[in-house]
Chains A and B, each alone.
Chain A
Amino acid sequence: MALRLSLAAALACAVAMPAMAATTQVAPKDVHWSFEGPFGMYDQGQLQRGYKVYREVCSSCHSMNMVAFRNLGDKGGPFWNPKYPNPNENPVVKAIAADYQIPDLDSDTGENIKRPGTSADYFPNPYANPIAGKAANGGALPPDMSLLAKAREGGPAYIYSIVTGDNANIPAGLNVPVGKYYDPYIAGDMSAYWTGDPKHVPRGGVIAMPPPLSPGKVQFDDGTKSSLQQEAWDVAAFLEWAADPKMEERKQVGLAAMIFLVLFSGLLWVSYRGVWRNVEH
């Protein structure tokens, strides 16, 4: 018992100690998501709106190499339709794919050609190669978006905070370098650009991306008002789906597994008590 208590106390101490690393950026905004918690699922309407924001805004600079058009019609995806269990037959998916021009080789001549996409194709990269991507963006390659929501502390809330950013409100005394944008949610060190009180350097860092969204930039098909917050919220949810497309399946299997394990443990406990019933120990 003493051992158990002390272990619990020691663990509690370790957990209670706050993370004391110097914070260089502002914590992401507190955003509510439909996919929070053990039962949270994606909101399909939101994923469709988010896809539209990605298609019309993000995709001109950001690749999404790991996502294929067919994935849009997968179970849990933005255009999943129970009528088309095989997403390759989903007409929305086919139409989206056909809208893209995919680089390929002519099978007769071997020449570089472009052809309309099929559901099996992946989202094409906006750049021929990473060097071209850097050259087109002042030396900074826009990160691939397939795993972006998992590759940043704060996940979708971080993405939401960056794109709704307060990068328009630059504190007086901060000289942001040309071609860069100040953002309080990005890790960094602004002391080199700060002319004010050195004890109160603004938190945050610089980003090469200009503020990408603005109210009314994307017209939503379902009539949702396209405020800046709405666009950001939807595209962040879409990117969470892109990074974790199996989340709904995972949580559903998980629920069944938990129910089974709890029942199985109960059964084993009853067996244990039965076997040890008359044994002094």
Chain B
Amino acid sequence: MSGPSKYEPKTGIERWLDSRLPIIRFGADLLDYPTPRNLNYWWTFGGILSFCLVAQIVTGIVLAMHYDPSGAGAFISVEQHIMRDVNYGWLIRGIHANGASMFFLAVYLHILRGIYYGSYKTPREVLWLLGCIIYVLMMATAFMGYVLPWGQMSFWGAKVITNLLGAIPVVGPGITTLLWGGFAVDDPTLNRFFSLHYLLPFVIAAVVALHVWALHVPGNNNPTGVAVKSKSDTLAFHPYYTVKDGFAVSLFLILFAVFVFFLPDAFLKTDNMIPANPLVTPPHIVPEWYLLPFYAILRAIPDKLMGVLALGGAIACLFALPWLDTSKVRSMRYRPKARIFFFVWIVAALILGWCGSQEPDGQLFPGVTTFNLIDYDLNSVTWISRFAAIYYFAYFLVITPLLSWREKTLPVPDSLYTPVLSHGAATPAGAVAAAEKKG
């Protein structure tokens, strides 16, 4: 869809290089890439996420220069050496630790945008699948990164999560032993987590390259979901979207900076300021906020193996979405019913997140006891998460397929350009095209 390249090598050396490794042409074509002209700010998260990945890798490499991946040294190297003695170590670590939360905030908004506007539908299924793979890799990377400071929550989080894998029949215990490098979470675990935490971001970067490649074959979706039909539907990526993404990244950085400079410990648990101690279990082991909905689903199910399967299934639903939703209309702008169910699903996911942060037997209405059903009182966090989890799965497995089949959708515009003109001023199409050339 990008059409023939408009790049013309101007100097001798450019011509020489162009016939050997057309890397300048590659970059020029990326900048020139025809992008729908009606993308809104929800489309800026791709740029924001690229920024996050680069920021995490750069700060991570610097932190690795000062970090000691040993049980005796890890906590001291972070809390004493990096935070107190390394020049601007507090800043580098602050960016890296809070950057993980910022990265997930952006990726969740990016995923929600993809679902709302049907960006996973044909011909973008591979683009969507690659995105899901990036998300899973991000969760693995973030989890292992959280273990590295070797505080109480690092240690016990590692223990709880690696123990989950042990529930898998036949191979589970073997995988756990391999991950631990022994028979308990200990020095060898920390060493391999450090190694993998350094490796996975580069795997993510490689999958991001595939993700961008898979984006550039069918081109961007857009808020109407209507395919690009003519050149006048699009604008060159540069300068139109470089400047818009740049502005969005800068706004995002303001939020980022608020956390790094003024609330640096907002996402950290106080227990993680205590060095890891295998003999003292923290009263309340919780993962980071971005994993809480899955943690709630895991705990909602009384059987360990079934819980692990449900946790995996919750993520697998995202992978299957392109084949669960067969509606011909992409954007939920024209799917009023789907929109309502989608917003309820967001609320269910937020409720799950809240449940994940609470004690399983915590009460919604304090002091009210009803009756016990499947291990827990009905007035308990566990039962709230059970209801929310049922909706979470029903949204993917029942509601979405049924809606694709039965829903009455609103009329979809003929082109993505039509609604653009209808809410704008009465500018003749020709004048717009002329302005674009001047641009």
Contact = CB atoms under 8 A, between A and B. Distances in A.
B80 interface: yes
B83 A246 contact: yes
A180 interface: no
B369 interface: no
- Could you say which interface size class chain B belongs to? 35 or more
Nearest to A17: B354
A261 B257 contact: yes
Contacts of A7: 112, 346
Contacts, number: 137
A67 to B, nearest CB: 8
Contacts of B283: 187
B432 A258 contact: no
A280 B84 contact: no
A254 B257 contact: yes
B264 interface: yes
Given A251-B261, A279-B235, A147 B364 contact: no
Interface in A1-54: 2-3, 6-7, 10-11, 13-14, 17, 19-22, 38
B435 A278 contact: yes
B358 A20 contact: yes
Contact of B424 (A38, A66, A269, A280): A280
A6 B438 CA distance: 39
A66 B235 contact: no
Given A151-B271, A250-B261, A21 B358 contact: yes
A166 interface: no
Nearest to A270: B247
Given A66-B80, A280-B421, A6 B346 contact: yes
Contact of B438 (A11, A21, A278): A278
B371 interface: no
A258 B257 contact: yes
A5 to B, nearest CB: 10
Contacts of B161: none
B416 to A, nearest CB: 10
Interface stretch (B210-218, B237-245, B392-400): B237-245
Contact of B240 (A6, A19, A279): A279
B79 A66 contact: yes
A276 B298 CA distance: 48
B439 A279 contact: yes
Given A7-B346, A153-B270, A268-B243, A279 B84 contact: no
Given A280-B424, A281-B420, A150 B362 contact: no
Q: Which 4 residue pairs spanning A and B have beta carbons closest together?
A: A254-B261, A278-B435, A151-B273, A268-B247
Interface of A: 2-3, 6-7, 10-11, 13-14, 17, 19-22, 38, 65-66, 71, 143, 146-147, 150-153, 187, 243, 245-246, 249-251, 253-255, 257-258, 261-262, 264-265, 268-269, 271-272, 275-281
25 contacts: A6-B343, A13-B350, A14-B354, A20-B358, A146-B80, A147-B79, A147-B274, A151-B270, A151-B273, A246-B84, A249-B90, A251-B262, A254-B261, A254-B262, A258-B254, A261-B254, A264-B250, A268-B246, A269-B247, A272-B243, A275-B243, A275-B439, A276-B243, A278-B438, A281-B235
